[in-house]
Structure formats: structure tokens, C-alpha cells
Amino acid sequence: MVQQKNLSSCIELIYNGADINAKDQNGVTPLHLAVLNDDLDILRSLLFLGADVSIKDNNGKTAMDYIDQNEKYSNDIKEIFSLFEIDKDKVIEIKKPQSSITSSHTQSILKMKTKKEAVLSLDGGGMRGLILIEILLTLEALTGCQINDLFDWISGTSTGSILALSIANGKSLRYVQQAYLRLGHKCFVGSKPYSTELMDSFLKSEFGEDKKMNEVKYPKLIIPAVLTDRKPAMLHIFRNYDAPYEDNYQIKDDKIQQPSLPSDQTMWSSVRNSCSAPVYFRPNDRYIDGGFIANNPTLDTISEIYKYKKYLGNKSEKQAANIRVIVSLGTGQYTLEPAKPIDVHFPSTIWETPEVVGSLKDLVYLILEQVNGRDYHVVDRAQSWCEMTGINYFRFNPLLSNVISLNEIDDRILLGMVCDTRKMIASRLDELCKVANLLLGNE
């Protein structure tokens, strides 16, 4: 498929299990062929999906050794390779646990070393969840540890819930990356709302039909969804731990059904409830997408941790001191654009009607935008709270060149999104290195 320059088929083969580093009789890999065949998109896709750049062919050459043979695109190819490469000097500077240490040992050693907790917050955003994976892959490369060994708490809304549960279940980020692509091409087909049967089947195959939330003990999971069987609708958090404390706003009334306990709540349905974006999917039971209240779940995560530790008997001063770092990851943002002020009123003449209709549309967009808000003031509030309590706070959210819809499955558009993410990673690598050192207890 690389030789035929068929991007979609190439990506489909890989996310369905084909060996991305397969060699032919000459030891040539798909990456070698992409360099020699002038196909920059396939080259990007192979690097995005984890092709090994160090593999040599029978002549002892890596794919990068052939770059100069491609006179037409050599500079472009070098730029693409550099985009997916991490500065080796930066990696060397970070003190990592010994590679021989097992995962469980890594957890205990890191906990003993830091004595403080790390929190990961994952925004919603549909197929833009691939951005989250790209940033987390960088953190794994910098620390030499798996994400589930680095964080004590992981919260995830909507698409972030898929990633959070996958990490907690020990799935590799490369596996989850391929699962995202399978999910998109399988479920985002036809007209909206998309097939709930396909979505449910996918989630059951990934998380098990009967596996309960409390079967995963570490890290602690916070999965926001919205309860719509009451007025006003309310935020609900699916957890993998017992939380006997009462939410101040929860209604205790026999007429209103109470949410299930972690021991009764299946994993797949927790994710499904958090991902039930209206228009895109029919709701599962009485829940809709958590993004309507907590698209960026950082503040709700902080509140939940506060209540949990307060219940355990800790004082507020200790709670703040017990969190070393909060890492908040977004699924892309866009540049600010000028807009006309909104002025909704009854038109005094027929000639004003188009202007008023335009203002009404802008008002609807404003409401939806603020309901799903995850940047600007939302980030400022979380950052201010963390600064007041002495917690290290980091927010990573790439600026995207194009608007990417939740249900985007065009491979070239998704590749462009990933490249935007890699540019952000390169520009903020020093901050990511600081995060890596904090997670390892080096700072």
C-alpha cells in the first residue's frame, strides 16, 4: 500500500493489526519506502503511528539514511522526521527509573520518592482525542514509564473517558491510538445520530461487558457525565472508588433514581454515558455527554479530590500540599476571530430581519460555546486555584490550523491535526521535561 501511495488503506491496515515495521526480503520497511517514494502523507502517518526509525535494511541503512537520495523532497522529509523526534539531550537530562524495574515496583518507588500525588485531566473532543494520546506518548518517552504508573488520579470527559479507562486497564497508548482510529471509521458512518449499537459493541469489546468500575484500583478515576432525569440537570461522577460523602447539590428523593455504586457500574457504560453527545449519539439511559458541564474537568477533579481527602479526615492545608502536579490536556483550540456584537431584538422594519436572525444564530453559538468551554477563563480559574495552593499546574492544548469536528475521520485532516500537536510539543518541550521530572520526583 505504501508503494501504491494509498494513504487510507495504509492506515487501515495498521490500525487493524498489520506490522508497521514489517520487512521485505531486502530488509526494507514501509518507512524506507515512504522516504524513497515521495509520499509525505504516508511518511507522516507511519511516524504518527509509531514506525521505528532505527530499523536498518540489509544494506545497514535506516530510512533516514536515504533522505538525501530524494532530491525533490529531502528538506520536507527532514522536517517531518524532526517533527516526530524528541531532542535526545532533553531525554538524557531526565533521571529515569531503571528499565529493569517492573510496573508495580515503579509505582511504589515513585510514591515513596515523591510522597505526593499527580493528577491528569483529559478534555472531551471526539476524534481530537488523538491529540491527548500524542502528548501522553511524549511524556512516556521522557519518563521511561507508562502513564498509569505516573498518575494517582485520572479524570476524563467524553473522549477523555475512553482514554482514562484504557490507561487504567493497562492498555498501551499505541493500542489506544489504533482503537481510536477503528472507533472513528466504524462508528462515524452514515447520518447522525450514529448507531448506538456499534458504539456499545465497540466499548464492550474494549472494556468487557460485565467488568465493574471498582475492579481497577489504581489510579483513581473521575469520569464526568450529566444526569438529565432531574431539573436542573446535574453533574455526576463515575468513580472506581467508594465516595460515601454526599454532593451538596444532589437531590435525595425517593422519586428520583440514585446513580449506581462503583461496584454495580460497568466500565463500558460509564464511558458510554460520558460520551453520549446529543445529535451524535442517542443517550444511554438518563445520561448525556459530560462535556455539557465539565468539558475541561480540571476544576471538578480538584473539587472531587478535596472532598475525598476531607472525608478521609485530612485538613485542607494537607490536601493542597499532597498534590505535586496537575497536568491538564486539551483537544485543540483555535485563534480568536473578530465578531459582530450580539444584539437580539424585535426588528422594527423588515430590512432589519436578516441582521436579527444573524444575531440569534450568534447567540445560540455563544451558549453552546460557553456550555462546552474548556479554555480561557476555565483554564485561568484552575491555574489560579493551583497557584494559591502551591500546586504545579500545566496546561497543554495545541493551536489547530483548521477546525476539526468531533466526528472527523478524514485521514489527511487528522494528520494535519497531529502535526499541529507535534509543533506544540516541540515548542514546549522544556515544560514537558519539567513535568516529567516532577512526575518522577526529581524536582
Q: What is the pLDDT of residues 30-60, one digit of tens each?
A: 999 999 887 899 999 999 999 999 999 999 9
Q: What is the pLDDT of residue 365?
A: 62
pLDDT score for 109: 47
Query: From first to last of its 443 residues, what are the pLDDT tens digits of the chain?
Result: 555 568 888 899 999 889 999 999 999 999 999 998 878 999 999 999 999 999 999 999 999 988 888 777 888 899 999 989 887 666 666 766 655 444 554 555 455 445 689 999 999 999 999 999 999 999 999 999 999 999 999 999 999 999 999 999 999 999 999 999 999 998 898 888 888 889 999 999 999 999 999 999 899 999 999 988 888 888 899 999 988 666 545 556 667 777 777 878 899 999 999 988 887 888 877 888 888 888 999 999 998 998 888 877 765 445 545 889 999 999 998 887 776 776 666 677 776 666 766 666 766 666 666 556 667 778 888 888 888 888 999 999 999 999 999 899 999 999 999 999 999 999 999 999 999 999 998 76
Q: What is the pLDDT of residue 2?
A: 55
Task: Give the contacts of 237 (CB within 8 A, at least 6 positions apart).
Answer: 222, 223, 224, 225, 243, 300, 304
Residue with the three cell numbers 460557553: 370
Single out the catalytic residue among 39, 123, 152, 289. 289
253 is catalytic: no
Which of 45, 121, 155, 158 is the catalytic position? 158
Cell of 206: 474494549
Q: How far apart are CA 247 and CA 362, in angstroms?
A: 35
Residues 152-189 have pLDDT tens digits of: 999 999 999 999 999 999 999 999 999 999 999 988 98
Q: Any long-range contacts for 181-189 (C-beta under 8 Å, 24+ apart)? A: 181/11, 181/15, 181/130, 182/15, 182/16, 184/127, 184/407, 184/408, 184/409, 185/12, 185/15, 185/409, 188/127, 188/407, 188/409
At 104 the pLDDT is 54
Query: Nine-digit cell at 125?
Result: 473532543
Q: Of all helices (H) and strands (E), which one includes residue 239?
A: strand 234-239
3-state secondary structure of 131: helix
Look up cell 501522553; give the residue: 136
Pairing verdict, β 117-122 and 323-329: parallel
Specify whether 289 is catalytic.
Answer: yes
Contact 13, 47 (CB under 8 A): no
Distance, CA of 216 to CA of 207 (rounded, Å): 11
Provide the whole-model pTM. 0.88
3 close to 37: Cβ distance less than 8 angstroms: yes
Grid-cell match 471538578, residue found = 300
> Which helix (DSSP H) or strand (DSSP E) does residue 126 occupy?
none
